[in-house]
Amino acid sequence: MIGASMETPVLRTPRLVLRPLAPSDAPVVQRRFPRWEIVQHLVRVPWPYPADGAETFLAGATEEIRTGFKAHWALIPRDGPDELIGIISLWPERPPERDQRGFWLDPEFQGQGLMSEAADRVTDHALRTLGWPGLWLTNSLDNRPSARVKERQGARLVDTEPASYVRGPGTRQIWRLDAEDWLAKRPRAPRD
């Protein structure tokens, strides 16, 4: 899968529309993203978040979408608000890195199963539609909500390693979710 290119199609879940990120999302990202509850568990995020942080991120993300290097989706609730409440990203395996998906959700919308819903849809897209053999997934050991998403999906914890996060040194959990296991538990494709 190294060098693989991918598209970022519109995907739907019962409560969300996942559409490709766009530069016009910058004001909403700038308002919703730079919160300690979100960024403390992330890597490679400037902190304090600069005034042009969202614009800079979206310039890179939209280029990655355009070139097929990564897929980045805005999470839009079907019942409002009519703006993104989080982001989920997906990319092909690129060894030696064991990580293929990342996400964040505005804390106002956490605890409702929305990220699990989005992660399930994106995972199904990767493993069923794109035919990937599996996904490598990671999270900070201290980020239990992110780990719970992976556990609910049936991913197996396969390793831990030291990592550096915005909040400082920590431990990264590495998970593997195999397509065979995923498809056995979900024999039908989701309906958009």
Q: What is the pTM of this model?
A: 0.96
Instruction: List, in sequence order, the alpha helices (H) in the chain.
Output: 26-32, 36-39, 53-67, 114-124, 144-153, 179-185
Dihedral angle of Cα 116, 38, 105, 50, to the nearest 10 degrees: -150
The conformation of residue 33, written as its DSSP 8-state character, comes to S
Cα–Cα distance, 157 to 81 (Å, whole number): 35
Q: What percent of the chain has pLDDT over 90?
A: 93
**Average pLDDT of the segment spanning 139-155:** 97
pLDDT tens digits for range 34-81: 999 999 999 999 999 999 999 999 999 999 999 999 999 999 999 999
Closest CA to 10 of 129, 105, 96, 94: 129
Cα–Cα distance, 16 to 77 (Å, whole number): 5
Reading the block at residue 68, the tokens are 């097929």
